[in-house]
Amino acid sequence: MTPVKDIENINDIKRMVNTFYGKVRKDNLIGPIFNDKIQNHWDEHLSKLHSFWQSILLKEQTYFGYPFPPHAQLPINKTHFDRWLSLFTETVDDLFSGPVADEAKNRAYSIADIFQGKLDYLQKKPGNKFRSTE
């Protein structure tokens, strides 16, 4: 059954983020990477992500951080980004339908493209401190 509700408020954002990262944590490919990095700080991490997506999708400026640096040293590549996007899209499609839900998916693809491009650049840069996963 197709959801009939769009993302409208912070409770919807929390539902999207919490459901998505519940899947991430259990995933065989990307779960170990996230769980190793975040360890027992999931509540803090999810709170940041609630603010991040609230700022993007609801135009309520609640996130003031820099999302890329914490990801810069993770051992991730295109395969990991593809899984992240697959789980994200699946989650949004399972929960919501409408222009804001579509925007969430579009933004996720843009974020993944930007992060992947930055990581590729840093991993190929001479003298870098980042590990390649290729």
Structure confidence by residue, pLDDT tens digits, 82-93:
999 999 999 999
Give the chain's domains with CATH numbers: 10-124 (1.10.490.10)
Tokens 């839900």 locate to: 101
- Least Cα distance to 84 among 31, 35, 40, 122 occurs for 31
Task: Determine the angle formed by the axes of helices 78-95 and 99-124, rounding to 10 degrees.
Answer: 170
pTM > 0.75: yes or no: yes
Residue keyed to tokens 């609640």: 62
Q: pLDDT per residue over 92-133, tens digit each?
A: 999 999 999 999 999 999 999 988 888 877 767 666 555 444
Rounded distance between C-alpha atoms, residue 29 and residue 63, angstroms: 28
| Chain segment 38-61, per-residue pLDDT in tens | 999 999 999 999 999 999 999 999
For residue 119 the two structure tokens come to 């990581």
- In the three-class reduction of DSSP (H, G, I as helix; E, B as strand; rest coil), residue 111 is classed as helix
